[in-house]
Each structure stands twice: as C-alpha cells, then as structure tokens.
A = this chain, B = another copy of it.
Amino acid sequence: MILEVAQFAITPGQEAEFEAGASKAAELFARAKGCQGMEVRRSLETPGRYLLLAKWETLENHTVDFRESEDFPKWRALVAHCFAGPPSVEHTEYAAGT
C-alpha cells in the first residue's frame, strides 16, 4: 500500500469552504481505482494547515489512473480555490511500525 501525503496551506477564512469541498470530494476518492481510503486532517498547531492522507494500492493508481481521470479536475475544482500556495504531494511506503 502506498500512502499519499499532501500538505495544504489554506487561505485564512477559507477553512470551512475547503473542508466542505474535501467532504464532497470523498466520493471521488471512494470510486477511484485502487483507492483504499482518504482522510483530510486539520493541524492543531497551525491554523489553516491540513494534511490529506490517501491509501492507494499502487503508485500509478494515484499518479496515472486518478490524475488522468475525469474526477481529478472535479477534485481540484472543489478545493484548489482555497489554497494559499501550491500543495506539496508525496508518496510513502511502509518502513516500520505496528
């Protein structure tokens, strides 16, 4: 399993709009090929900072199948107008843990 970790800074005042967009977008991830779950989490320490954690069966399920799908522009349309800057996106694999 590949965990996508995206980090967002949201324009002050746009937090509720971003969260509503992310909630609507959950169904896009739920039907995406190879997506095993998506969650958006709010930083307790930094106002306007969020992380998206999405589980993908393979890297290509995100970078090819999702990004080239018709749902990718829908996802961006729901949230991108709230971004204060470009998000960072990376992918991770298991290294240690329970």
What B residues does A3 contact at CB under 8 A? 41
Pull 5 A–B residue pairs with CB atoms less than 8 Å apart, ordered by A: A2-B44, A38-B97, A41-B94, A43-B91, A44-B93
A4-46 CB contacts (< 8 Å) to partner B: 5, 19, 22-23, 25-26, 29-30, 37-46
Task: Tell me if A44 and B96 are in contact (CB < 8 A).
Answer: no
A41-60 CB contacts (< 8 Å) to partner B: 41-46, 49-51, 53, 59
| Bound Cα distance from A59 to B42, whole angstroms | 14
Copies of this chain held together in the complex: 2
Binding site for B on A (CB under 8 A): 2-3, 5, 19, 22-23, 25-26, 29-30, 37-46, 49-51, 53, 59, 90-98
